[in-house]
Amino acid sequence: MDLMVEATPRRVFANAHTYHINSISVNSDYETYMSADDLRINLWNFEITNQSFNIVDIKPANMEELTEVITAAEFHPHHCNSFVYSSSKGTIRLCDMRASALCDRHSKFFEEPEDPSNRSFFSEIISSISDVKFSHSGRYIMTRDYLTVKVWDLNMENRPIETYQVHDYLRSKLCSLYENDCIFDKFECVWNGSDSVIMTGSYNNFFRMFDRNTKRDVTLEASRENSKPRAILKPRKVCVGGKRRKDEISVDSLDFSKKILHTAWHPSENIIAVAATNNLYIFQDKVN
């Protein structure tokens, strides 16, 4: 008989969320973790399943006054009292649990001023943050919105120190992406083990890597056609207009149903996992 792998829940932490949970983050004390939904963040102890502490609550008294929701949250990798959460308005709040039991006052507020020349009907939607991740060092925060990845220094709140364009060629396609609901897709982002490279997904089963030191970037594709074992991934290029070269793909022929929302990077080695629809791909650095 084939080997069957089955997951069985050891504990169920129930009845603390009214809305879909978007984030779970384990604390560096390894005793507690937090879970976040659209309006609340709860703190749990691993040993206590029937009780949690509400540490963030942004639900207004009148739901008609609701202007933003929580989109992601994560604990600091070393300081067990600190955590960040991002919002649909493109802002990030750093909170300190030592300040008060309910963290309704942030200790730092990160937001980039909007460029008036880029203002459009879609500005608010594409500025919504879909993922937030502390660097392993704890010095930086990385955020992902619809078109970009940004790196923030914890000591500088008024603008990111780095901005990387993930798929800027889609800026002219926002209208059709709004009509087919793709504009609401939530892409994740990850750091490599040394915080020198960041990775995030795109459409057409493409995923992007940005080297923070050399400023080089690459687009790779996770697909069955080129996933023979030990096959080397070839960089892909998207052609926006004008004459298309032989190895380029036109922006009009991208498949928006094939998207890479979830990626992971091994904590110490150059091994990555990429989830493309119902396939999981694992790639590693070239072995000579």
At residue 45, the pLDDT reads 96
* pLDDT (tens digit per residue) in 132-153: 999 999 999 999 999 999 999 9
* pLDDT (tens digit per residue) in 62-109: 999 999 999 999 999 999 999 999 999 999 999 999 988 888 788 899
At residue 115, the pLDDT reads 78
* Rounded Cα–Cα distance for residues 42 and 251 (Å): 42
At residue 245, the pLDDT reads 76
Report the 10 Å Cβ neighbour count for 11: 10
Three-class DSSP category at 109: strand
Q: Render each residue's pLDDT in the chain as its tens digit; 288 residues.
A: 889 999 999 999 988 999 999 999 999 999 999 999 999 999 999 999 999 999 999 999 999 999 999 999 999 999 999 999 999 999 999 999 998 888 878 889 998 888 787 788 898 999 999 999 999 999 999 999 999 999 999 999 999 999 999 999 999 899 999 999 999 999 999 999 999 999 999 999 999 999 999 999 999 999 877 667 777 888 888 887 767 777 788 888 899 999 999 999 999 999 999 999 889 999 998 765
Q: Please provide residue 175's backbone torsions phi and psi, each rounded to the nearest 5 degrees.
A: -65, -50
Q: Where are the alpha helices (DSSP H) in the chain?
A: 123-127, 174-179
- Cβ-in-10-Å burial (0-12, 13-18, 19+) of 47 comes to exposed
At residue 121, the pLDDT reads 85
Q: Please provide residue 111's backbone torsions phi and psi, each rounded to the nearest 5 degrees.
A: -155, 135
Whole-model pTM: value is 0.90
